[in-house]
Amino acid sequence: MRARYANLARIRALDPEHDHLAIYQAMLRYEFPWDLKLGLNLAFNRSFSLPSIAAVHAVTGELTERTQKRIDDTGILMYEMVLNGFDEQRGRDALRRVNQIHRRYDISNDDYLYVLGCLVVIPTRWLQRYGWRRPCCHELRATHRFYGELGRRMGITGIPDSYEAFETWFDVHDAAHLRPNQHAAAVERATRMLMLARIPRALAPLGDAMVAALYDERLREATQVARPAWPVRAGLHLVLTGRSRSQRWFGKPRTTALFTDGITTRSYPDGYEISRLGPQQDD
């Protein structure tokens, strides 16, 4: 049992201010790889649903017409920055590409801040509910510090100065601005198809309800998704809770880091160039 917490012991020996990248890398690559990947997917899904942001995606057609590529591009750019930080060449290239992609759109600072808040808060809340252990205070501070640095390098201002403050800002903004809208519904329908493709065939008849059960009520309303029946919600909760307990008591620390063999996606089976990710008409 002691070995299960070996990575946590190493994380607690680090400084979350100066070693935030190493801590966040350990969270993604060793401690919570499946959960953080899902949490980041849910975070982007929520950010896509804010009316002002959904409208931008509706105009570009990137998420509704080129869904797989858009999702893959987003994931690659994010993971390149996590794997390499912002000072190594590949991390700098990924950050530069992110800024190039967004430069041509008129996006408000609050919208940028909301997306950043989704990345900080949504995966963390997933871990707090369904991770094999709850993230410790070092991990909360490192998560906030990593995305705060990303935001600073994107020119985002007004970033709250702690995880707790960011969580409070996010909840207030989310309650005030996440509203039902047709653009969010269209984006959700497109991205849902990718999630359904990963559900085992035996569970396919419950696929739509299972995906909807991953959303909270406010997100379901914004994307105009029907609330699934309580047996589906309760069943999914029991499965996820059982998984977390099983991992806690019987799991072993991961010895091979996530992405050791590189980032692979359906859109780029033969590899990719960071500078060519995303829509090309903005170059």
- State how far the Cα of 212 lies from the Cα of 268, in Å rounded to an integer: 29
> With 50 as the cut, is the pLDDT of residue 282 above it?
no
- Summarised one tens digit per residue, pLDDT across range 57-79 is 888 888 889 999 999 999 999 99
- Summarised one tens digit per residue, pLDDT across range 74-120 is 999 999 999 999 999 999 999 999 999 999 899 999 999 999 999 99
Residues 145 and 20 sit within 8 Å (Cβ to Cβ): yes
Instruction: State the Cα angle at 92 between 109 and 27, rounded to 5°.
Output: 80
pLDDT bucket at 42, cuts 50 / 70 / 90: very high
Work out the mean pLDDT of the chain and round it to a whole number: 94
Residues 143 and 116 sit within 8 Å (Cβ to Cβ): no
Which pLDDT score is estimated for 52? 95
Residues 27 and 139 sit within 8 Å (Cβ to Cβ): yes
Burial 71-105 (b: 16+ CB within 10 A, else e): bbbbbbbbbbbbbbbeeeeebbbbbebbeebbeee
> With 60 as the cut, is the pLDDT of residue 281 above it?
no
Which pLDDT score is estimated for 244? 97
Of 231, 210, 113, 223, give the one whose Cα is nearest residue 179. 223
Which pLDDT score is estimated for 1? 64
pLDDT average, residue stretch 219-237: 96
Q: Fill in the DSSP letter of residue 258.
A: T
Of 144, 122, 103, give the one whose Cα is nearest residue 49. 122
Residues 191 and 63 sit within 8 Å (Cβ to Cβ): yes
pLDDT average, residue stretch 159-177: 98
Q: What is the Rg, in whole angstroms, of the alpha carbon atoms belonging to the chain? A: 18
Of 175, 214, 168, 172, give the one whose Cα is nearest residue 191. 214
Of all residues in the chain, the percent with pLDDT exceeding 70 is: 98
Which pLDDT score is estimated for 193? 84
- Summarised one tens digit per residue, pLDDT across range 185-224 is 999 999 998 888 777 777 788 899 999 999 999 999 999 9
Helix (H) or strand (E) holding 99: helix 89-103
